[in-house]
Amino acid sequence: MYEITSETNFSAAHRLKNYHGPCENVHGHNWLVRATVKCLVLDECGIGIDFKVLKTKLNEIVGRFDHQDLNAVLKESDMNPSSENIARHVFERLRESLQGRQGSVSRVEVFETPGNGAAYYE
């Protein structure tokens, strides 16, 4: 089994509904997103999934978050924009985006600050 990982980042604001503390107020982070794809076999070049493909797809998904209010961006899904929910959201969109390609998404990690993050995997 091979794992291929790519990272990207974005800056955005959010507020956590029903938090009952300071994070219920609007505040911002410089978010880091790390996505991992697993592959059982490599192509004729010795690659599981091209880093460029993974990074491009990941950037397409998180690009809509950059310099935005995540509560507004994710309003249609009625999602509280916690790191956990954002990790799941990115995982699901990336899985859809990579359908038909070699490998599958195995894990997405989202960090609000260095050392503080959440992961989603199935």
Q: Give me 54's structure tokens.
A: 């993974």
The pLDDT of residue 78 is: 87
Answer whether 59's CB lies under 8 Å from 70's CB.
no
Q: For the chain, which domains are there?
A: 2-120 (3.30.479.10)
CA angle, 102 then 106 then 112, to 5°: 130
The residue type of 34 is R
pLDDT digits (tens, 9 = 90+) for 9-53: 999 999 999 999 998 999 999 999 999 999 999 999 999 999 999
Q: Please, how many CA atoms are within 13 Å of residue 97, restricted to the half-sphere of its CB?
A: 19
pLDDT digits (tens, 9 = 90+) for 81-117: 999 999 999 999 999 999 988 889 999 999 999 999 9
- Neighbouring-strand partners of residue 34: 7, 109
